[in-house]
Structure 1
């Protein structure tokens, strides 16, 4: 890497237990047992205050898992291909497919994910895991594998606004205790109100820029920033700049709170 030009700097803002904005210039590569030929960075974990683990990284042309990821009991996994010209072969149980940019797979609890580059070109991925919370009804079926691509999912106006758009990536079904969405703001688009809710989010911005309210602070954010929101953290966003701002984010859902 060598010596930097000018002063050392980092835009990240970390408030453990509340929120975090993690910009790319401060990231380091983490060794993840069972993942080979990949340059992975852990963005969120319980050490920050999150109830999930999320990573971003590049899968080289020989990148692969050497054992199923997230195979532990009640661990569910989500993988999303951010970008790149290559293809990723993914599998869980009896389900397998090949993903390109925009593609994703949800792996049900305890089944584990395996992936391998097809060797044509590197890709960047987001990799996410959390502990599954069962539905209280014994008659409710457990979640099932889901494969898709955001480029084939139609956007819907967000809260009846004409310049903010949302996609649901997983079924809106109580069998699932989580979902992933994309949210896009045209310049000048914003949330309709400042949110304070029990859901926790991890959001990866992959285009544009904006101004995000986190707790009591408005923070400029842009493509390649990761944001973690603790439950009940005040939050709202304005899309700024000249182009569309868009991010993919996780959400826990469909469950009561335990005492």
Structure 2
């Protein structure tokens, strides 16, 4: 299985700046062509790396999460990667290999590896190999709930997670759920959603969950609010709560994306902070 990941670089001077990138009050689309060297970020305590930040909490838009694509060059990584002790995380490896230390345990990560890291977990990540490693990093502050146990770390691989078909879809639409959707310890999910060619979301979903959606493979027409947009490998879609959405997979390959959503907690009724 191959997964899209930013390639960096810079388009040459023959390219036209007109494109499909858009930011609206309800959604944003950042096509793969926009993920270039000049928009990367660098972090304290990290070495030999670069990152594309696709989403961050923004008042009046999506407020629960941040989502990155991080590239580790050979020898790169961090012994103190997470600056916020209240932040939990998911890592999903798209290319290359990395070594994750979780407490005293070490784990070799490869393309398709999925890691859930609870808030406060002592973790490190390094690339001791000769080729760059690219992984997606999704961060969210953990919201504790009375009577609910704290979540445990999880390290798995997408090959170990079956595709669960959605009801009444003839297996044209399925989801790999890395975190148990019935386990209320988790206050967010990160899944891989797959549509076979021609598969679709057959209604305009409109719901409270925010989304970060990174296209791993394939193409589709995606409904965002009232607009149909064409999306493909490496494109990122950012949706605020209640933005209507649907899609129709196009082309000959499955349409697959990595999906974040916040779940399993009451909406806060207090002032936003």
Instruction: Tell me the TM-score normalized by structure 1.
Output: 0.91
Matched, 1:212 2:222: yes
Matched, 1:136 2:146: yes
Aligned twin of 1:171: 180
Aligned twin of 1:12: 21
| Distance in structure 2 (CA, Å) of the matches to 1:132 and 1:26 | 31
Q: How far did 1:2 drift?
A: 7.5
Residue of structure 1 aligned with 2:160, choices 129, 141, 152:
152
Question: CA distance change for structure 1 residues 33 and 9 in 2, over 3 Å: closer, same or farther?
Answer: farther
Q: How far did 1:11 drift?
A: 1.8
| Distance in structure 2 (CA, Å) of the matches to 1:39 and 1:124 | 10
| Distance in structure 2 (CA, Å) of the matches to 1:96 and 1:15 | 42
Q: How far did 1:3 drift?
A: 4.3
Q: How far did 1:39 drift?
A: 2.1
| Distance in structure 2 (CA, Å) of the matches to 1:52 and 1:2 | 30
Matched, 1:26 2:34: yes
Secondary structure in 1 aligned to 2:116?
strand
Q: Is the 8 A contact 2:200 2:249 kept in 1?
A: yes
Matches within 5 A, 1:226-245: 226-245=236-255
Aligned twin of 1:68: 80
Residue of structure 1 aligned with 2:69, choices 40, 56, 67:
56
| Distance in structure 2 (CA, Å) of the matches to 1:254 and 1:6 | 45
Q: Deviations over 1:159-193 (max 9, x none)?
A: 23121111101133111111111111111100132
| Distance in structure 1 (CA, Å) of the matches to 2:208 and 2:103 | 33
Question: CA distance change for structure 1 residues 95 and 255 in 2, over 3 Å: closer, same or farther?
Answer: farther
> Which stretch of structure 1 is more off in the superposition, 115-124 or 233-242?
115-124
Question: CA distance change for structure 1 residues 56 and 211 in 2, over 3 Å: closer, same or farther?
Answer: same
> Which stretch of structure 1 is more off in the superposition, 152-161 or 172-181?
152-161
Aligned twin of 1:35: 46
| Distance in structure 2 (CA, Å) of the matches to 1:213 and 1:2 | 28
Q: Is the 8 A contact 2:217 2:257 kept in 1?
A: yes
Matched, 1:117 2:130: no
Q: How far did 1:104 drift?
A: 1.6
Q: Is the 8 A contact 1:10 1:26 kept in 2?
A: no
Q: How far did 1:207 drift?
A: 0.5
| Distance in structure 2 (CA, Å) of the matches to 1:58 and 1:176 | 27
Q: How many residues were matched structurally? A: 253
Q: How far did 1:118 drift?
A: 2.5
